[in-house]
Structure 1
Amino acid sequence: MPHDVLTIGRISVDIYPNDIGVDLEDVTSFGKYLGGSPSNVAVAAARHGRSTAVITRTGEDPFGAYLHRELRKFNVDDSFVTAVPLWPTPVTFCAIKPPHDFPLYFYRTPTAPDLQISAEELDLDAIRNARIFWSTVTGLSQEPSRSAHLKAHEVRPRTGLVAGQYTILDLDYRPMFWETEEAARAQIARVLPHVTVAIGNDKECSVAVGEGSPDEQADRLLAAGVEIAVVKLGHEGVMAKTRTERVVSAPVQVETVNGLGAGDSFGGAFCHGLLAGWPLQQVLDYANTAGAIVASRLSCADAMPTPEEVTSLLAERGRLVPTNA
């Protein structure tokens, strides 16, 4: 059976402080968690009952073994996760200084195992048949991962939205992985014609299609071939736009503990709503609420909410609860 959600790209061990509100050099103890945006999205979708898998690579080391164990714990298929003998499994540190300061420190130079995914090792049938294929801009930043991502997108069917199959690009631009914004924009332009949904914040959209208002950025994404453009509006919520519809989900106010996993929780819940066939407004509200729940918690993968938690907060805030959530 094809996977509901198949993601490709980053995986790491997140090393998060147990001490909140202090600089990283002053932290005295840490916890470790599965991390990496595409891997977290797979976990988030699995929490909503979806069959998920991730295509990635780890080091051939104890941290790699830990990530396999965590993926299986979260019911994510790890059969497309292979080891690279040369490069260690990356770790990512952060400081947690709510409500807005969560600096990240990536230990993945000059490269990382998940950037060693090659086109030759891809299971093209699994990619072609997955109901949702999810990738991020980071995977385009370096070879051989870039060619693998391009190959994967090329084999995806351009079925449109009616057939219930989606190719989603997370515009997750991180400057430390790129020489320039122009280099990133050039690679994004190669992928967008194969994408049905693009998701990003203002900065990420400006890297992809240039600066402008959220509506202008969404319109440029649609003109590039995307069928749903999702632009995150920060404290104003999130907007989704198609060629015939524009919807906005207002922010869900919570006490922020760690904002780093909210986008991945949003992504997994967004996939769930798309596959459930909900109206776009309900998809957006559900995903927005799922993201807010993770922002109110410490970790990322371990913090992904269940459908019951999302629908409970939706009801509490007076928003429409999907009937088949």
Structure 2
Amino acid sequence: MTRVFCIGELLIDFVAENQGNDLSKAINFTKKAGGAPANVACAISKLGGKSSFIGCVGKDPFGSFLLDVLKNENVDISKSQRANTFTTLAFVSLAEDGERDFVFSRGADRELKYDSSIKKDFDRNMIHLGAATAMLGGGLEEAYGHYFFDALTKDAFISFDPNFRTDLWKDNEAVFIKKCMPYVEKSHLCKFSLEEAFLLSGKDTVKEACEVLHKAGAKIITITLGKEGTFVSTDNMQHTVPSIKVSPVDTTGAGDAFIGCLLYQISQLSNFNMVFNDDELLMKMVEKANKAGAITTTNYGAIIALPTLAQLED
């Protein structure tokens, strides 16, 4: 079975209790495991796939908690690292519709060191690059770029999600765009939110955004549209795949559940090229991935809310 290596941040989400999306008024918080690439790794594993997480946490109780969560979800953490810096934290407040307000306190995620011995493991496998904090400098950004190059040289299937966070890139959006574009150019699959697609393309319609991003090099583009579903674009086809109706309570991790489910399905194929050559197959995969994302919004927290294969097929 193909393994998916998820690279990026693993952090603590402190989620405000009984609070709208104004963090300044929040008082009590609940500790949750988070970090987009880690969520994707857990999404794949919970569906029965093989995933590994490559990232760094602190040598503190929070770091131990996070690695235990991944281990309990059957994610391979043997490539993870620990640093003397404190574990990265994110403070999150939720509005009634499940939308979020973020504030980050960066720590150990930036301390990841490149490990050249991992390169051989990428051979004919898959890597998923979640970029929420990976473009902010430090060891993580350097390692991230090395692993990306390694994946290219090892004929791996590459997935990229920019995971744009306004709090991290205030007044520096142009730098974010410049750093993301090499990944867009070389990735087989790109997952964007509508905001990210417009930001990276400089366009304000979905079809125009996809035209720019395809021209840059992106092969398969998925743009998540919340309750409306997902817009899928390839060289041959553009189509909105609807989602299922749910009553969301927390949208945290919904996009990660979506891309995790999509990568899980691709990992089950005997040949990656099947997803490029069969639009009907891709549409069915996206339909199932939409369902995974929707189910995740019906519970609080990201990892705990990710569906199993049995829940997905129920």
Q: Structure 1 length normalisation: TM-score?
A: 0.85
Whether the 8 Å contact between 1:248 and 1:281 is mirrored in structure 2 is no
For structure 2, which runs of at least 5 residues remain unmatched after alignment?
270-274, 276-280
Provide the identity percentage. 23
Shift of 1:215: 1.4
Residue in structure 1 matched with residue 243 of structure 2 by the alignment: 251
Matches within 5 A, 1:47-196: 47-85=46-84, 87-108=85-106, 112-120=107-115, 123-126=118-121, 128-129=122-123, 131-138=125-132, 139-157=134-152, 165-178=156-169, 180-196=172-188
The verdict on how the C-alpha distance between 1:159 and 1:90 changes in structure 2, with shifts beyond 3 A counting, is closer
CA displacement, residues 217-274 of structure 1 (integer Å, 9 cap, x when unaligned): 1122222222101112344321111111223211322111001111111111111122
Whether the 8 Å contact between 2:21 and 2:100 is mirrored in structure 1 is no
Say which SS state the counterpart of residue 199 (structure 1) adopts: strand
CA displacement, residues 74-123 of structure 1 (integer Å, 9 cap, x when unaligned): 101111111111x2002222222221442122222xxx211222335662
Letter in 1 for 2:93: A
Say which SS state the counterpart of residue 90 (structure 2) adopts: strand
Asked whether 1:215 is paired with 2:213, we answer no
* Length, aligned pairs only: 302
Shift of 1:147: 2.1
Residue in structure 2 matched with residue 284 of structure 1 by the alignment: 286
Letter in 2 for 1:292: A
The verdict on how the C-alpha distance between 1:82 and 1:159 changes in structure 2, with shifts beyond 3 A counting, is closer
The verdict on how the C-alpha distance between 1:171 and 1:26 changes in structure 2, with shifts beyond 3 A counting, is closer
Whether the 8 Å contact between 1:192 and 1:226 is mirrored in structure 2 is yes
Say which SS state the counterpart of residue 191 (structure 2) adopts: strand
Residue in structure 1 matched with residue 45 of structure 2 by the alignment: 46
Shift of 1:159: 8.6
Q: CA RMSD in A?
A: 2.3
Shift of 1:44: 0.5
Q: Distance in 1 between matches of 2:297 and 2:50?
A: 24
Shift of 1:18: 4.2
The verdict on how the C-alpha distance between 1:20 and 1:294 changes in structure 2, with shifts beyond 3 A counting, is farther
Whether the 8 Å contact between 1:5 and 1:130 is mirrored in structure 2 is no
The verdict on how the C-alpha distance between 1:251 and 1:158 changes in structure 2, with shifts beyond 3 A counting, is farther
Q: Structure 2 length normalisation: TM-score?
A: 0.88
Residue in structure 1 matched with residue 272 of structure 2 by the alignment: none
Shift of 1:294: 0.8
Q: Distance in 1 between matches of 2:36 and 2:115?
A: 23
Say which SS state the counterpart of residue 94 (structure 1) adopts: strand
For structure 1, which runs of at least 5 residues remain unmatched after alignment?
313-325
Say which SS state the counterpart of residue 118 (structure 1) adopts: coil
Q: Distance in 2 between matches of 1:273 and 1:41?
A: 13
Larger mean CA deviation between 139-148 and 198-207 belongs to: 139-148
Whether the 8 Å contact between 1:230 and 1:241 is mirrored in structure 2 is yes
